[in-house]
Amino acid sequence: MKNITLKEIAETLGISITTVSKALKNYPDVSPRTRQAVMNLAHQLQYTPNSFAVNLRTQESKTIGLIIPEVVHHFFSSVINGIIAEAEKNGYLVIILQSNESLELEKKQVALLLSKRVDGILMSLSNESNDDEHIREIIHKGIPFVQFDKISKLIHSSKVIINDQLAAMQAVQHLIDNGCKKIAHIRGPVNPQNAIDRFLGYKKALEKNTIPFDSSLVYTCQRVSFEEGYAFAEQIKKEHPDVDGVFVITDLVAVGVLAYFNENQIRVPDDVAVIGFSNWFMSQVITPKLSTVDQPSDEMGTRAFQLLLEQMIARRDQKPFQAQTIELKTAVVQRESTRKKS
């Protein structure tokens, strides 16, 4: 079926194209009778607006791009829910792209979104992102841009973050308060800012409690996976059998740690306490239930879109916009894996 145009509707009804356009947009200067006739014929002919032509007139696509490291991760799926819900309220569609923690793929996805002329871009950086050129291209072109969760401090843009360093300090302090004296840390890759900050928070908590930092107690993930958690738990117990606490970069890795301990009759928390990060839903259903840091993922998505919307409106209205940073609160959630020792 061919696409029906405003011109065909106008010729059929014997009115101008402008009148048809106004009637479809419910302008008050079109009579109710004419408006109803236009609406009836448009429905009968299955007319749909030419979005490309509309975009040319308004200079808006009503779409935004979202680039995240992985869709399946509970944290990011919850962020996506927050973004989509807020976008729909404001009449925007979201193009979701997954970088798979690859810098090269992330660059291609940025280029794709720019070619699609999206109205704005939201991004959580991949673990490999140590080159900001593609991100600077977004800003150079004047495209509204907001970073969230995994960000680059070197890029001047709006951001929605948590205080990863403080949250990590509180997680490690929780282990210390529960009697832990030798604490290992399974950290994220060396590039992402949140992995760096959580590592620094771990070190600061030790320093605050006059516990010497030992680099051999730090294990670095590459993929941030269940399998790495399992393997590192085995390595920790072989290399440091007297470790009595483990602070883990994220809950997915921490579940791998618990799996190894459970399979090898290492009692949690009596022999070793474990705390994760993000409050993944699995943390509440495994045995023992995992203590963690609650990260407000849905709110992060909502606030990220709201920041982007402010910038998109400012751009449309040709008004200045000052980049903002929103810092969301976190909290330690104590469960069975860090029960206070008697």
Tell me what pLDDT residue 263 has: 97
Average pLDDT rounded to a whole number, residues 143-155: 94
| Reported confidence tier of residue 262, pLDDT bands at 50, 70, 90 | very high
Tell me what pLDDT residue 79 has: 95
The burial of 25, by beta-carbon neighbours within 10 Å (0-12 exposed, 13-18 middle, 19 or more buried), is given as exposed
Residues 96 and 113: beta-carbon distance below 8 Å: no
Q: Which of 57-66, 104-113, 184-193, 241-250 has the lowest mean pLDDT?
A: 57-66
Tell me what pLDDT residue 46 has: 82
Superfamily of domain 61-162+297-329 in CATH is Response regulator (3.40.50.2300)
Domain spans of the chain? 6-49, 61-162+297-329, 164-295+332-338
| Reported confidence tier of residue 181, pLDDT bands at 50, 70, 90 | very high
Superfamily of domain 164-295+332-338 in CATH is Response regulator (3.40.50.2300)
pLDDT in tens, 93-140: 999 999 999 999 999 999 999 988 899 999 999 988 777 899 999 999
Q: Percent of the chain, pLDDT > 70? A: 95
Rg over alpha carbons for the chain, rounded to the nearest Å, is: 26
1 or 325: which carries more pLDDT confidence? 325
Residue 235 CB coordination number (10 Å): 14
Sheet holding 158-162, edge to edge: 93-98, 63-68, 120-123, 145-148, 158-162, 325-328
Average pLDDT rounded to a whole number, residues 268-286: 94
The burial of 249, by beta-carbon neighbours within 10 Å (0-12 exposed, 13-18 middle, 19 or more buried), is given as buried
Q: Which of 75-79, 122-126, 269-273, 321-325 has the lowest mean pLDDT?
A: 75-79
Domains 6-49 and 164-295+332-338 share a fold: no
Give phi and psi for 275, each to the nearest 5.
Answer: -130, 135
pLDDT in tens, 9-44: 999 999 998 998 888 888 888 999 999 999 999 888
Q: Which residue has the tokens 């106008």?
A: 10
Indicate if the pLDDT at residue 59 is higher than 70. no
Tell me what pLDDT residue 1 has: 46
Average pLDDT rounded to a whole number, residues 137-152: 94
pLDDT in tens, 191-247: 889 999 999 999 999 999 999 999 999 999 998 999 999 999 999 999 999 999 999
CA distance 309 to 91: 11
| Reported confidence tier of residue 54, pLDDT bands at 50, 70, 90 | low
Superfamily of domain 6-49 in CATH is lambda repressor-like DNA-binding domains (1.10.260.40)
CA distance 267 to 53: 65
Tell me what pLDDT residue 53 has: 58
Residue 49 makes CB contacts below 8 A (sequence gap 6+) with 24
